[in-house]
Structure 1
Amino acid sequence: MNIQSISKYLSLCVIGMTISCASVSSTAQNKKPKNIILMIADGTGLSQISASQYYNTQPSNYDRFKTIGLIKTSSASDLITDSASGATAFSTGLKTYNGAIGVNTDTIAAPTILEDLEKRGFATGVIATSTITHATPASFYAHQKFRKMELEIAEDIINSGVDFFAGGGRKYFENREDGNNLVATLESKGYEMYLDRLNPMLSLKKDKNYGFLLADSGMPKFLDGRGSFLYDATKLGIKKLSQNKKGFFLMVEGSQVDWGGHNNDSEYLISELIDFDTVIGQVLDYAEKDGNTLVIVTADHETGGFTLASKAGDYNTIEPSFSTGGHSATMVPVFAYGPGASEFMGIYENTAIHAKMKKLLKQQ
């Protein structure tokens, strides 16, 4: 499949999804939110976002934001961050070393915003197209000294209190080398666990938590048939968490934009980014109707040194290209809509995302 056919392919996959293309208004920007939905398109910089505009048959939902900022992404150990330290900066407000999951530079556990809100009676959730134990989602509920410790990270979710989670990573929960069946353990703690499919029309019980582990490792690529998983999981997650009258926090990660960047595979990257863009549309539609939800869309870092260059000097032909198979040190954008959105304007460190969210929910 070539890049030019991606838009047509994606359009067929999202038939039935209603996406409003109207610009988001700036009403209610000064009051504090009841809910926060933090959306992270892993590895996404401005060129990736531009690709969603050029290659999408629908208007990009990024265009609906009026409040935009920029974050500096360096970690405590390196000028160029990895996803673990980048996500830990968001979740704890601390700069830490590359590879750290919810711990400071001395490997001491640091409280995350998810844990803080759980203690205060909020509902919480994490969704990812990677394993649910991967660096970004893990950094919101786990505390381990290195990101590759996914067996240990899986154990951390048991007592995290998270009300809803969805992604891959089934092999870290059952058929483990240590013989522990974490799926059974979660069920004993009041979770309804689903290991084969996610039904977006599932009837949800207020007294139950929900876990979806739909692949042994990461979820399939969008181009390989993942379909509307991210859209459906987000819809179901909001449905579950909004049952809580106190409020909720939901982290949604488009994990594989990053993987497309690492592979220097523009078709992979662009299809993942447009899938994520579709979910942004759903979330903005919900927030617009709800009036009490702050939506933050950002990235932990940029991956691939991705560029939309001209092809052989032809300024009417775009040729996506890469400068690295790793991450880059460029600043990444932050888009915000809803109560408190104005807090996210300007240029600031990635740790400020946590500080701003905590400030806005402090008296809720």
Structure 2
Amino acid sequence: MKISVKTAAASMAILWLAGCNTSIKEEKPEATPQEEPLSIIFMIGDGMGVPQVSTAYYFGDSLPNFSRFKHIGLHKTSDKVYRITDSAAGATAFSIGEKTYKRAIGVSVDSIPKETILKRLQDDGYQTGLISLTTITHATPASFYAHVPDRDMHEEIAAQLIDAEVDFFAGGGKKFFDNREDGRNLFEELMGKNYHLDTLGLSETVKDKKNAYLLADDGIPSKIDGRKNYLSEATTMALEYFDQKQEPFFMMVEGSYIDWGGHAENAEMMISEVLDFDKTLGVVLDYVENNPNTLLVVTADHETGGVSIGKHYVVDDSTGKKTEVPEKVTVYFNSNQHSGELIPVFAAGQGAENFQGIYENNEIYHKMINTINQSK
């Protein structure tokens, strides 16, 4: 499928920076009461490669927030077995710091549960947050709190979320909490663990409680299906909630449907999701600029669709002659599957320079932990 719209004035450039980093064994951070530990915001545009980022420049109405980054790198996405990864193995590499197999959630290649960065930082006194457009049990968010051998074990993943003690989470997936084969009502269990729970909308957070928003039986709607500003609004709410508590935090925000647009070979869907992700990116960059003791890392687990941005033609129906339209471009899909492209990593805030270079996807975990150590 292909689609064309009018190009914006700006063009995309990804900086290929030198300084490939090797894996460095890090020490676990031990903050003292006098220190103010570094907060981390980790944003994942699922399925977002360089071509997807490029669409924000060709199809947006203003200069994308991606242009605000000065520190950019690239990561290699292959999992432990396959050159072409899936979201479960990709997100697990981010969350546990080692590569694993396709469909694995929070476990090693031998299916052994591994401590996630979310749990590690919780143990150091961090608040934690997860925001997704899909079910909160989907591969990417689940990889930060659950440990199961297969990503489709949604009911088991939901049950593990109850004990994960995440301070703020928002997404879909209600059906895995109250319409379960084992008869458990996880809504009641959440409220029993001092959660403010809302299944209808993004109501005001409660400072003295953890906050859970489960707003759809399955995923939140895509932009082309009528989603409003959920992603930016949920992110803003989480940041305000964390600020009230005045403790360091780790938060993962997923722009889930960039990937879905690639799988569907639906350029309109993909473009609208990239632009929505970029809008949310602006909210977070503003926060980082006003809170210098914060690190923002933005990347993707893989690219989806083998997307390229190419010439746009009009065809004369009578002659079949193609004529290039100089002020337009077209989105082309090479497939409806994941690709093996290197993936951009954008970083801002304290320690952003650590994310330059070209490295394996699991190195992002170690770079985040090492940046916390360096900030002391």
The TM-score with structure 1 as length reference comes to 0.89
How far the C-alpha of 1:245 sits from its partner, in A, is 3.1
Structure 2: which amino acid aligns with 1:253? E
Q: Distance in 2 between matches of 1:208 and 1:192?
A: 6
Paired residue for 1:25? none
Q: Distance in 1 between matches of 2:150 and 2:6?
A: 39
CA contact (8 A) 2:87 2:139 kept: yes
Structure 1: which amino acid aligns with 2:259? D
Q: Distance in 2 between matches of 1:357 and 1:84?
A: 20
How far the C-alpha of 1:227 sits from its partner, in A, is 0.3
CA contact (8 A) 2:205 2:237 kept: no
Structure 2: which amino acid aligns with 1:299? A
How far the C-alpha of 1:6 sits from its partner, in A, is 12
1:311 aligns with 2:306: no
The TM-score with structure 2 as length reference comes to 0.87
1:240 aligns with 2:244: no
Which residue of the other structure, out of 303, 324, 339, is the alignment partner of 2:350? 339
How far the C-alpha of 1:243 sits from its partner, in A, is 3.1
Q: Distance in 2 between matches of 1:343 and 1:230?
A: 27
How far the C-alpha of 1:344 sits from its partner, in A, is 0.2
Q: Distance in 2 between matches of 1:329 and 1:46?
A: 12
Paired residue for 2:92? 88
Paired residue for 1:59? 63
Moved more, 40-49 or 235-244: 235-244
CA contact (8 A) 2:97 2:363 kept: yes
CA contact (8 A) 1:33 1:339 kept: no
Paired residue for 2:335? 324
Q: Distance in 2 between matches of 1:154 and 1:76?
A: 26
1:75 aligns with 2:79: yes
CA contact (8 A) 1:33 1:294 kept: no
Paired residue for 2:303? 302
Deviations 1:192-224 (A, max 9, x none): 11001113xx1531x200000000001101121
Q: Distance in 2 between matches of 1:98 and 1:226?
A: 30
Q: Distance in 1 between matches of 2:372 and 2:160?
A: 25
1:358 aligns with 2:360: no
Q: Distance in 1 between matches of 2:92 and 2:151?
A: 11
How far the C-alpha of 1:292 sits from its partner, in A, is 1.1
CA contact (8 A) 1:174 1:182 kept: yes
Q: Distance in 2 between matches of 1:288 and 1:148?
A: 39
Q: Distance in 2 between matches of 1:326 and 1:270?
A: 17
Q: Distance in 2 between matches of 1:76 and 1:34?
A: 31
CA contact (8 A) 1:33 1:340 kept: no
How far the C-alpha of 1:288 sits from its partner, in A, is 0.3
Structure 1: which amino acid aligns with 2:218? S
1:348 aligns with 2:359: yes
Structure 2: which amino acid aligns with 1:45? G
Paired residue for 2:255? 254
Paired residue for 1:149? 153
Q: Distance in 2 between matches of 1:292 and 1:115?
A: 21
Q: Distance in 2 between matches of 1:96 and 1:177?
A: 29
Paired residue for 2:229? 228
How far the C-alpha of 1:316 sits from its partner, in A, is 3.4
Paired residue for 1:17? none
Q: Distance in 1 between matches of 2:154 and 2:368?
A: 27
How far the C-alpha of 1:177 sits from its partner, in A, is 2.1
Structure 1: which amino acid aligns with 2:107? V
Aligned alpha-carbon RMSD (Å): 1.8
How far the C-alpha of 1:246 sits from its partner, in A, is 3.4
Summarize the Cα distance change of 1:115–1:266 in structure 2 as closer, same or farther, 3 Å threshold: same
Q: Distance in 2 between matches of 1:271 and 1:6?
A: 15
Deviations 1:76-114 (A, max 9, x none): 010001000000000000100010000001100010000
Q: Distance in 1 between matches of 2:348 and 2:45?
A: 16
Summarize the Cα distance change of 1:197–1:6 in structure 2 as closer, same or farther, 3 Å threshold: farther
How far the C-alpha of 1:241 sits from its partner, in A, is 2.0
Q: Distance in 2 between matches of 1:361 and 1:91?
A: 15
How far the C-alpha of 1:262 sits from its partner, in A, is 0.3
CA contact (8 A) 1:125 1:163 kept: yes
1:43 aligns with 2:54: no
Q: Distance in 1 between matches of 2:7 and 2:330?
A: 15
Q: How does 1:69-218 map to 2 (within 5 A)?
A: 69-199=73-203, 202-205=204-207, 207-218=208-219
1:34 aligns with 2:24: no
Structure 1: which amino acid aligns with 2:138? H
Summarize the Cα distance change of 1:230–1:5 in structure 2 as closer, same or farther, 3 Å threshold: farther
Q: Distance in 1 between matches of 2:274 and 2:137?
A: 21
How far the C-alpha of 1:161 sits from its partner, in A, is 1.4
How far the C-alpha of 1:58 sits from its partner, in A, is 2.1
Gaps of 5+ in 1: 8-31
Fraction of identical pairs, as percent:
48
Gaps of 5+ in 2: 9-35, 314-322
SS of residue matched to 2:41: strand
How many residues are aligned here? 337
